[in-house]
Amino acid sequence: MVVKGGLKLKRELAQPLARPVANNLPVAQVWVDASVYHLDEPFSYLVPEHLSNTLVTGAIVSIPFHGREINGVVIERVPASGQSGLKPISKIVGTIPLISPEILSLIGILANRYAAHPFDIIRSAIPDRAPTIEKEFEFGGDAHRLTSGNPAREFLQLPIAQNRSHLIAKKLREFSGSGGVIAVLPDTREVTALSNALAELKVPHAILDSALPKSELFRNFMRVRTGDASIVLGTRSAIFAPVVNLKNIVMYNEGSEQFYERRSPGWNARDIAEERSTLEKVNLTFIGYSPSSEIGNDIDQAFVKYRRSRGRLKVLTTPQVHGELLPSRALTLIKKALHDGPVLFVVPLKGYAQAIRCAKCKTISRCPCGGAHQKLATDSAISCSHCATKVDAWRCSWCQEIQPSLANRGIDRHSQELGLLFPGVPVTLSTADHPVADAPKNGIVISTPNMAPLNPSGYAAVVILEGNRFLNQPDIRGQERVREMYFSHAALARDGAAIVLVQDEGESIATALTSWNPTFSLRRELSERRELELPPYVRSAKMTMKSDEGIRLKKALELARHEGRLPFKTRILGPIPEGEDVTLLLTVPLEFGSELISTLHEFMRRRSASKK
């Protein structure tokens, strides 16, 4: 029999044979990396029998989720509870659970604290996997840790005229005798200096720094996870290091803005260090020259013990009367110091001239795009700091004058002017773009903040140029940041050297430097913050959105406060323009902080579920 058109066979995919489910604790609670904000609660999955012996908490697994395979993290295995229709875990990713039980608990706490999805924290806690490197390591399992007692919390003020990296290295060596140590530092430069100091003491350690190549970073992480390294140095994400038998956490310059994670949810390494110290009962030591306002408040409340370093400095404060770079009083002192060794100048800005104004009417020059005009070098054209458009024939937009005036000296212009003031004296520049590791034995060293090279014998003088520009920064962290910066640079001077502050007289920072005691200035700032209801006396949340949503959202939040869904003491500030977006700032007294964050967390979940 012939069938026209040929045979057509119906094809079906055979269903795979169901694998047996684990007899013991057959259900796993899993955080899923679904890239959706509101899916932050754990999901239940079946544990196949063939994975049961190797599936532990902290393991990364591949799971079916809405028709696709995604990654998740096992946070718990539990008995069956009558749930039906659960899907099985597909496979375990890797051979070693990358998240320790302690870090798993910490991530859960932080997700609530910051109203975040757990994977927003996990991405910071675990570096990118390198499967070939992972196979080099063996893992014997996590030992159960007993956590008890009250951990010690201290702030150790660093002394004058001593190498801070060597001092911190000795402290880490001392701490390592009792167990694992994590040292968190603001930037790669400080990490490298501390690593070199530990190498001189022959103290083995591992570095966790995002500046490392990815393969080296992951290899170091695996050394820590498997217990091969018990002393860890790193930048802010090193606070998550899964150190075995951790006993001490050390932070240098805890108020640094480098400790704020740039990505949402914007966590701060100092806050995480305090949470981890409480959770794991480990000692927490802050090391620096001047505490932040948060730690200053903790010192006042006796939560942190302050260990002051005694010392005195010779401080000369001299203002710029006619806009001159160096007043005559300072000039004489610096000329004398240059005969004894190098002199450090700290300047606020990089580049040549950060602003251009009209020589006739003094109007500040701006580009049509809104950016400020600047001059990057002596022989460069005026250009926009925002869009980089060059201006070949400059003219004042107000009075049509063709003669510009340079304002806001940058480090290159300071270098030029200091070279004219001190002819024949070599000048060295150190900036974030071109850092210098070691200071010369003589001459002038000019640096932007926190980029000053170390001199083993100390500087013959330290000069803070344009101090008023430092002191008049408008942001809320300006005072504490400048206080730490003044102290840390003054500490680079040798014993008996002068500290010259080119700024207006009457600033409390000069008195604080003279007595090497920042507490008076800090307490005055804390008193002002308390009166104005600013951090650290309030919890705050910053919400950024499109401008058309700002007013609508503020009204919704005000209604929620009126109806009792937000704490009644919530202050709603804004909308504040930020480019094309606007920002709302919400603050509440500390005792209502958790209530505010949990409400915002639920609010964000609902927006996410509505695809907003």
pLDDT, position 595: 93
Confidence of residue 208 (pLDDT cuts 50, 70, 90): very high
Tokens of 155: 């702030």
Farthest CA pair distance, the chain: 116
Which residue matches tokens 């040929």? Answer: 6
What pLDDT, on the 0 to 100 scale, is given for residue 3? 42
- pLDDT score at 325: 84
| Residue keyed to tokens 């490392």 | 212
pLDDT classification of 4: cutoffs 50, 70, 90: very low
- DSSP letter string over 21-34? BPSSS-EEEEEE--
pLDDT per residue as tens digits for the range 562-591: 999 899 999 999 899 887 899 999 999 999
- Structure pTM? 0.89
Q: Rounded distance, CA 291 to CA 270, Å?
A: 12
pLDDT digits (tens, 9 = 90+) for 357-397: 787 787 888 888 878 887 777 667 778 877 888 888 788 88
| pLDDT tens digits, one per residue of 439-454 | 889 999 999 999 999 9
Q: For residues 442 and 424, what is the distance between their CA atoms, to the nearest angstrom?
A: 12
Among residues 581, 605, 586, the alpha carbon closest in space to that of 596 is found at 586
Interstrand relation of 343-346 and 459-464 (parallel, antiparallel or unpaired): parallel
The Cα–Cα gap between 174 and 153 comes to: 16
DSSP 8-state class, residue 507: -
pLDDT of residue 12: 40
The dihedral built from the CA positions of residue 18, 22, 26 and 29, taken in this order, carries a sign that is negative
Strands (E), 40-134: 43-46, 60-65, 68-78, 91-93
**CA dihedral sign of residues 99, 103, 105, 106:** negative
φ/ψ of 608, rounded to 5, equals -65, -45
Is residue 323's pLDDT more than 80?
no
Residue 2 has pLDDT above 70, yes or no: no
Sheet (strand 206-208) strand order: 206-208, 231-234, 180-184, 246-252, 283-288, 153-157, 305-307
Residue 583 near residue 544, CB atoms below 8 Å:
yes
Q: What is the mean pLDDT of residues 155-181?
A: 96
In 3D, which of 445, 467, 469, 466 has the Cα closest to residue 455?
445
Mean pLDDT of the chain: 89
SS (H, E, C) 387-421: CCCEECCCCCCCCCCCCEEEEEECHHHHHHHHHHH
Q: What average pLDDT does range 63-84 have in this prediction?
A: 90
Q: How confident is the model at residue 18 (pLDDT cuts 50, 70, 90)?
A: low
- Number of helices (H) and strands (E), helices first, in the chain? 16, 26
* Pairwise CA distance, residues 80 & 268, whole Å: 39
Q: Where are the beta strands (DSSP E) in 219-321?
A: 231-234, 246-252, 283-288, 305-307, 314-318
Does the pLDDT value for residue 84 go beyond 60? yes
Which of 342, 570, 351, 543 is CA-nearest to residue 456? 342
CA distance 417 to 265: 44
Residue 452 CA to chain centroid, in angstroms? Answer: 20
Q: What is the pLDDT of residue 367?
A: 86
pLDDT (tens digit per residue) in 259-298: 999 888 889 999 999 999 999 999 999 999 999 999 999 9
Q: Give the pLDDT of residue 438.
A: 86
Can you list the positions of beta strands (E) in 66-122? 68-78, 91-93
Residue 103 pLDDT greater than 90, yes or no: yes
* C-alpha to C-alpha distance for 368 and 406, rounded to whole angstroms: 19
The answer to whether 605 and 40 are in contact (CB under 8 A) is yes
Q: Which of 103, 107, 503 minimizes the C-alpha distance to 319? A: 503
| Percentage with pLDDT > 90 across the chain | 63
Which strands form 27-32's sheet, in the order they lie side by side?
43-46, 27-32, 68-78, 60-65, 91-93
The fraction of the chain above a pLDDT of 70, given in percent, is 96
Instruction: Determine the 3-state secondary structure of 7 from DSSP.
Output: coil
> Are 461 and 161 spatial neighbours (Cβ–Cβ below 8 Å)?
no
What is the 8-class DSSP label of residue 61? E
pLDDT bin (cut points 50, 70, 90) of residue 1 is very low
Query: 13, exposed or middle or buried, with CB in 10 Å at 0-12, 13-18, 19+?
Result: exposed
C-alpha distances in Å from residue 277, one per residue of 140, 182, 240, 249: 25, 11, 12, 8
> pLDDT-based confidence at 353, cuts 50/70/90?
low
Structure tokens of 450?
Answer: 């926190």
- The answer to whether the beta carbons of residues 438 and 477 sit under 8 Å apart is no
Q: Between 543 and 199, whose confidence is greater?
A: 199
**Separation between Cα atoms, residue 207 and residue 368, nearest integer Å:** 47
State the pLDDT at residue 11.
Answer: 45
How many residues can be counted in the chain?
612
Cβ pair 417, 399 in contact under 8 A: no
Q: Reply yes or no on whether the pLDDT at 490 is more than 50.
A: yes
